Chains A and B, each alone.
Chain A
C-alpha cells in the first residue's frame, strides 16, 4: 500500500474518531453539553489527536529510517572485491536501486510477472535490455551481485512497507479505541487537548533550535577538519590568499577580512548619516501625510533582492564612477569593479535598515522629554540634538550594529560590484573581495570536498558567523540596556 493511501486512511480514522468521540461524550451526558467537563468539540479533538499523533509520528520516522537500514543491510551483501572505496560503493548502490526500481516498474507495466521478476538471473536474461524496454536506462550490464542485491533490496523493501502499514494502522485504530473508551462526561478532554497543543508548539520551537545547532555543528566539524589539513596560524595570520587546486595553496584570511571590513565601513559611512537623518526628518519634522508616503517608500528599498543591487552596482554605479575617476578622467580607477562601487551600493541597501530602526527608537523616546525641553525654551533642533538623540543613542547604536552585521554577511553586491581579487590595499578604487564572496567561489568549483581548498570555506564561514553573532549579541545587549532606562 503506498504511503499516501496509508496517510489518507489514518486521516479518515481521525475524522471519524472526531465525530464518534464527540457523540460518545454527548451520549454520556444524556445529550446535555452542560453536564460535560469540556465543550463537546474537545472530546472529538482528543480522539482525533490520539489517532493522528502516534500513527503519523511512527510513519514519518519509519519512512526516514527504512531506506537507511535497508541500504546498510544490502551493501553488506556486495562483495568487498567489487569496490575500492566508499565512493565506488555508493555508485554500485545506486545501480542496485535503479535495477530494483526498474524491476518494480516492469511489474507495474505488466512486462513481467512478479514471480518472473524474482526468478530472474543474469545468465538467462539480458536485464539491461529488458529494463530498457520499460524505459529504465542502465549504464552497463548488470553484474550478478548487483542483481542479487537488487532482489534483496526489493524483498526487504516489501517487508518494510508491509510492516509499516500494519503497525501504523494498528496504532491508529488502537489510539482510536483508547481515546474512545476513555471518553465520558467527567474526562478532562480540554486539558488533554491543550497539553497536546503545547507539545506541538514545543516541537515547532525545537525544530528551529535544532536546525541552528545542526548548522553550527556542521560548520564546527568541517572547520576542525580544515585545521587538521592546514595550520591555523597561517589561516588567521596569513597575508596572502592564493588558493590553487593543485595543492600548495596559501589561505590567509587577512586580505579577505580587510576587504569585508573596508567595504562595510564605506557602506556604513553612506548608510548611517543618510539613514539617521532620514529617520530624524520622518519622526520629528514630517507631517503625517508625508510620513505615511515616505516611510513605506523607504522601506521598499529593504525589499529589493540583493542581486538587483548587485546589477545596479555592476551596470550603473560602477560605470558612473569610472566616468568620474576612470582612466579618461582622474585616472584613479582602473575598472568599474572596486571597493567604492560595492560600498556605495551596499550603503544604499542598508539605508532602510538604519532609518526604519532608528525611526522606531526615536519615536519611543517619551513625548514628555520633548515637552520638557521645549518648555524650557529650546528649539526643535536643540531638543532633537540634546535630548532626543542622547536618549535614543543606545538604540541607534544597536541599529547600526545590526546594519553592520548585514553588511559583513552581504555577498551578491560584492561578487558583482567589488571584483574577485583578494588584495590588501588602502585604495578604495581597487578591486577587492570579501569573506562571503570567497566562500562562494571556493565551493562552486569542482574541487574535491575533502581538500583544504574547499574546506577553507567552512572555516571562513565559521569565523564570519562568530563575528556577526558577536555583533548581534552586542547590539541586542545595547538595545536592552536602553529599554530599561525609562521605567
Chain B
C-alpha cells in the first residue's frame, strides 16, 4: 500500500501556516464538519483522504472562504492563516483568495488564450509593472506549471483547446501566477489519465519548495506518493492526522486502518 516516496527522507518540522481550531461547518441543518482541529505546515504537502461525503472538500473550501459563495453554508470556529483569523470581519475574502490559491477537480480554463488565462490573476492584482514584466510572469508560471515547453509556441491559442492534463497544469500555473502562499487542490487528478496524473504529481512535489500545498484525493496511493502529512476524515470528523508514513504504515485509529486497508470507504 505504501510506496515510499523520495520526498519522505526530507521531512523536517516546518512552521505552521494554517491552524484550524474547533471548526464546525453547517449546510443548512446538516452538520458537515464536526469540531476539526488541524495545523497545516508551511512548505509541506498535506493530503486529506477519506470516503466520499466525509467533508474533506468542504473543509478545504473553508481554508480560502470559497464556501462564502454558497448561501446556506455556515462556518464556526477559528481558522488562522499566519496567526490571523481569516473569518474575521476585517479580512477581505477576495484578498485572502489571492493568498490562498485553489485548483479544482475539473480543469476549468477560461475561454481565453493561454496567455490571458495565466495573466488573469496578475492583471487583477496589478502584479506586473508593464507588458514585459507580465510576459515574464506568464513564462515563469508556465514553467512552474511544467507546461511551458508544450505551449510556448501557441500562447495565444485558446486554453480550452488543450488536452485534459495540459488544462489542469494550465490551471495550476494560473493559480501559481498570483504568487499565493498556500495552494489548495481539490482532487486535481480525478479527471486525468495516469500519465497526466504523474505529471501533475511531479509538479506538486516541486511546488512544495515554495508553497504550502493541501491536496484532497481519493487515491491513497497518490496521498502516499505526494504528501508528507496526511489527514483522514470520516463522517465529518478528523479521525487522524500525522506523518504520511506513519498513517499508512502504523495508524493509531482502527477506522484509519480499516479505510486504508479497504475495509470501509
Contacts and interface: CB of A to CB of B under 8 A. Distances in A.
B112 A377 contact: no
Given A382-B124, A387-B110, A391-B111, A377 B94 contact: yes
B94 A379 contact: yes
B263 interface: no
A54 to B, nearest CB: 56
Contacts of B97: 374-377
Most buried by A among B96, B108, B109, B178: B108
B138 to A, nearest CB: 14
B121 A369 contact: no
B111 A485 contact: yes
Interface string B54-69: 0000000000101001
Interface in B165-209: 171, 174-175, 178
Contacts of B171: 372
Nearest to A368: B108
Interface in A346-390: 366, 368-379, 382, 386-387, 390
Interface string B63-105: 0101001010000000000000000000000111111011110
B104 A377 contact: no
A486 interface: yes
A372 B178 contact: no
B108 A372 contact: yes
Given A376-B101, A378-B94, A371 B124 contact: no
A375 B160 contact: no
Interface string B103-139: 1101011111000000011001100000000000000
A387 B178 CA distance: 17
Nearest to B160: A485
A379 B95 CA distance: 9
A377 B125 contact: yes
B98 A374 contact: no
Contacts of A371: 66, 69, 102, 104, 108
Most buried by B among A368, A375, A382: A375
B12 to A, nearest CB: 29
Contacts of A485: 111, 160
A368 B106 CA distance: 8
Contacts of B124: 376-378, 382, 386
Nearest to A365: B111
A373 B111 CA distance: 12
A386 B94 CA distance: 16
A377 B121 contact: yes
Contacts of B106: 368
B174 A376 contact: yes
A230 to B, nearest CB: 50
A378 B122 CA distance: 10
Nearest to A377: B98
B5 to A, nearest CB: 27
Contact of A374 (B69, B125, B178): B69
Nearest to A370: B69
Contacts of A373: 110, 120
A375 B188 CA distance: 14
Contacts of B71: 287-288
Contacts of A378: 94, 120-121, 124
B108 to A, nearest CB: 4
A30 B171 CA distance: 70
Nearest to A392: B111
Contact of A366 (B69, B108, B112, B174): B108
Nearest to A387: B110
Contacts of B109: 372
A96 B109 CA distance: 78
A382 B95 CA distance: 13
A368 B105 CA distance: 9
Nearest to B102: A375
A375 B64 contact: yes
A375 B120 contact: no
Nearest to B158: A485
B112 A390 contact: yes
Contact of A376 (B112, B121, B160): B121
Contacts of B111: 369, 390-391, 485-486
Nearest to B124: A378
Interface in A384-431: 386-387, 390-391
B64 to A, nearest CB: 7
Contacts of B120: 373, 376, 378, 386-387
Given A386-B120, A485-B160, A486-B160, A375 B110 contact: no
Interface in A265-296: 287-288
Nearest to A382: B124
Contact of B110 (A287, A369, A382): A369
B175 A369 contact: no
Given A371-B104, A486-B160, A376 B66 contact: no
Given A382-B124, A391-B111, A486-B160, A375 B104 contact: yes
B108 A376 contact: no
A386 B125 CA distance: 13
A369 B94 contact: no
A307 to B, nearest CB: 42
Given A368-B106, A386-B120, A374 B101 contact: no
A370 B68 CA distance: 13
Given A391-B110, A485-B111, A376 B178 contact: yes
A485 B160 CA distance: 8
A484 to B, nearest CB: 10
Nearest to A394: B111
A382 B112 CA distance: 15
B62 to A, nearest CB: 13
Contacts of B160: 485-486
A486 B160 CA distance: 8
Contacts of B98: 376-377
A362 to B, nearest CB: 14
Most buried by B among A369, A377, A379: A377
Nearest to B184: A375
A312 B74 CA distance: 49
A347 to B, nearest CB: 30
A268 B252 CA distance: 69
Contacts of B64: 375
Given A376-B124, A485-B160, 9 more contacts: A287-B71, A288-B71, A371-B69, A371-B104, A372-B108, A374-B66, A378-B121, A382-B124, A390-B110
9 contacts: A373-B120, A374-B66, A375-B101, A375-B103, A375-B104, A376-B101, A377-B121, A377-B124, A390-B111
Give the 6 A-B CB pairs with smallest separation, nearest first: A377-B98, A375-B102, A368-B108, A377-B97, A376-B121, A372-B108
